[in-house]
Amino acid sequence: MDSAEYMLFETALGVCGIAWSEAGLTRVQLPDRDAAATAARLAKGARRAGGAVPAYANEAAEALARYAGGEAVDFSGALLDFAGIAPFEATVYHALRRVGRGETVTYGALAERAGSPGAAQAVGTAMARNPWPVVVPCHRVLAAGNKPGGFSAPGGLVTKAKLLAMEGVYLDDGAPMLPGLFD
The strand pairing partners of 47, in sequence order, are 5
The strand pairing partners of 80, in sequence order, are 25
Same domain for 40 and 94, yes or no, is: no
Asked if residue 81 is part of any domain, the answer here is no
How many structural domains does the chain have? 2
Same domain for 109 and 43, yes or no, is: no
pLDDT tens-digit profile of 164-179? 999 999 886 655 555 5
Q: Which pLDDT value is given to residue 162?
A: 92
Asked if residue 117 is part of any domain, the answer here is yes
Asked if residue 54 is part of any domain, the answer here is yes
Q: Give the catalytic positions in this structure.
A: 138
With CA atoms as reference, report the closest residue to 154 among 30, 16, 15: 30
* DSSP tag of 177: P
CATH code of residue 135: 1.10.10.10
Same domain for 104 and 160, yes or no, is: yes
Asked if residue 180 is part of any domain, the answer here is no
Rounded mean pLDDT, 62-75: 96
pTM for the predicted model, two decimal places: 0.90
The strand pairing partners of 15, in sequence order, are 10
Asked if residue 181 is part of any domain, the answer here is no
Q: Where among 68, 98, 116 does a domain terminate?
A: 68
Asked if residue 78 is part of any domain, the answer here is no
Q: Which pLDDT value is given to residue 177?
A: 53
> What are the backbone angles phi and psi of residue 11, rounded to the nearest 5°?
-140, 170
Same domain for 97 and 165, yes or no, is: yes
Asked if residue 182 is part of any domain, the answer here is no
Q: How far apart are CA 107 and CA 122, in angstroms?
A: 9
Rounded mean pLDDT, 124-134: 96
Domain that includes residue 61, residue range: 5-68
pLDDT tens-digit profile of 7-65? 999 999 999 999 999 999 999 999 999 999 999 999 998 999 888 899 999 999 999 99
Same domain for 9 and 63, yes or no, is: yes
Model confidence band, residue 72 (pLDDT cutoffs 50, 70, 90): very high
Same domain for 21 and 58, yes or no, is: yes
